[in-house]
């Protein structure tokens, strides 16, 4: 049995209240990880080309107000 399979088995055995608590914990955990990944990508310049393209499109009139 893989580690993921063991975790899945444990999650499946949670009571409804435990599952609710786990779900809330995991959402917060996942959001923190996503934020850290995004911050790392921004610091490394990985999103610079996307930002430049968006600004170029805006300056060229290829955008519209929301």
Mapping DSSP to helix (H, G, I), strand (E, B) and coil, where does residue 62 land? coil
- Which tens digits make up the pLDDT trace of 1-55? 999 999 999 999 999 999 999 999 999 999 999 999 999 999 999 999 999 999 9
Cβ atoms of 46 and 52 closer than 8 Å: no
Q: What is the Cα 20 distance to its own chain's centre?
A: 20
Separation CA 30–CA 37 (nearest Å): 11
pTM of this prediction?
0.70
């Amino acid at each position: 049995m893989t580690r993921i399979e063991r975790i899945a088995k444990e999650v499946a055995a949670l009571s409804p209240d435990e599952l609710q608590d786990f779900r809330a914990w995991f959402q917060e955990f996942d959001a923190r990880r996503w934020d850290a990944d995004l911050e790392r990508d921004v610091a490394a310049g990985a999103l610079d080309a996307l930002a430049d393209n968006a600004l170029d499109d805006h300056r060229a009139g290829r955008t519209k107000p929301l």
